Structure 1
Amino acid sequence: MSKHSKHSQLGTAALQFLHDAGAEFEVLRYESHPGSPHGFALDAVEQLGVDPAALFKTLVVDLEHADPVFAVIPADSSLSLKRLAQAAGAKHARLLQPAKAQRLTGYVVGGISALGSKTALRVFVAEEAAVLPKMVVSAGARGVSVRLAPELFGELTGAVFAEITQG
């Protein structure tokens, strides 16, 4: 796997962000099914044939008395709003309404990414990612993901790895 050249068809702000950073990543494309009963993340798992513990969904969360944040958690996990609020130093957290999340990030729901977001937000990643050799995250569009090292994702986004899932 090599760094992408200027001649590759980037297509999203997230891919452009990775390219501009000189990051090593692999683009994974699949046919997204927006009506999937499993949701976008588990649909991506099925389409790509990857381990649901290695594919991460990106949620935008509103914090009480603070700017919203990204929560990046495994596709097969649920976010603990209480744990995220604690990690972010807030009292309460709630999922941001989809329309607000789209306006804030510049990405559509099902394609939201912490990479290259229109608005820079703090990023919290489920600590489970830290032990993986590679993680898969949205590349800023439905049907496009990237596989990269969790350490690299953390460096590029300034992410904090924390216990933010339920269980």
Structure 2
Amino acid sequence: MAHGHGTGAPAGRERVAADAAARGLEVEIFPRQNASSLAEAAGILGIRPADIVKSLVVKRPGDEFLFALIPGDRQISWPKLRAVVGVNKLAMPPAEVALAATGYARGTITPLGSTTAWPVYADESMVGQRVAMGAGEHGYSLFVDGDALITALGATVADISSPA
């Protein structure tokens, strides 16, 4: 397996591919041009904004985190997510904290290949959908079957979003 130059650590998309393979999850990783908005990204990929899933790193009390998988046309519903997780405080950490928690820069974050396998919460609207998401590296996305992703990650499926 090829490694990132100079660092000794695999490049982000290689970590994603290796983790997906280890989980028996089929993913299609592909280069994509940069987009200035989610709507533009969806247009480039030829899909609906709802089919782009954002992997959001959420801080729990203590030094614990979780991933919230939210469709592109929706946003986290903090009351719903707190209820599902069973805590009274959740927050979006600064970008450098998210990077330290996952090994991925904002805009490339995915639960696949994260340096720590934090719990994953997937919005129920992903069920039955083929979705695009970050692939661990700028300039790349991946397509994956939402149900297969949920199963491979052992994700908790719940209504955790509201319209954006």
**TM-score between both structures, scaled by the size of structure 1:** 0.83
Which residue identity is paired with 1:20?
A: A
Identify the residue that residue 18 of structure 2 maps to in structure 1.
16
Identify the residue that residue 73 of structure 1 maps to in structure 2.
70
Following TM superposition, the consecutive aligned residue runs of length 4 or more in structure 1 with deviations greater than 6 angstroms are: none
Per-residue deviation, 1:128: 0.1
Deviates more, 1:96-105 or 1:10-19: 10-19
Identify the residue that residue 26 of structure 1 maps to in structure 2.
28
Q: Does residue 159 in structure 1 map to residue 155 in structure 2?
A: yes
Per-residue deviation, 1:161: 0.9
Cα deviation digits, residues 41-72 of structure 1 (max 9, x gap): 44532332211111101110112357211011
Structure 1 CA distance for aligned equivalents of residues 60 and 145 of structure 2: 28
Aligned length: 155
Equivalent residues of 1:70, 1:114 under 8 A apart: yes
Per-residue deviation, 1:147: 1.3
Structure 2 CA distance for aligned equivalents of residues 56 and 94 of structure 1: 19
Per-residue deviation, 1:11: 4.0
SS in 2 for 1:78: strand
1:66/1:100 CA distance change after superposition, 3 Å: closer
The 5-angstrom pairing of residues 52-67 of structure 1 reads 52-65=49-62, 67=64
The 5-angstrom pairing of residues 103-114 of structure 1 reads 103-114=100-111
Structure 2 CA distance for aligned equivalents of residues 48 and 65 of structure 1: 38
Query: What runs of 5+ residues in structure 2 fail to find an aligned partner?
Result: 3-10
Identify the residue that residue 3 of structure 1 maps to in structure 2.
none
SS in 1 for 2:34: coil
Cα deviation digits, residues 116-167 of structure 1 (max 9, x gap): 10011000011000132x1222111122122111221112211111111124
The 5-angstrom pairing of residues 108-123 of structure 1 reads 108-123=105-120
Identity %: 27
Which residue identity is paired with 1:32?
A: N
Identify the residue that residue 86 of structure 2 maps to in structure 1.
89
Query: What runs of 5+ residues in structure 1 fail to find an aligned partner?
Result: 1-5
Equivalent residues of 2:135, 2:142 under 8 A apart: yes
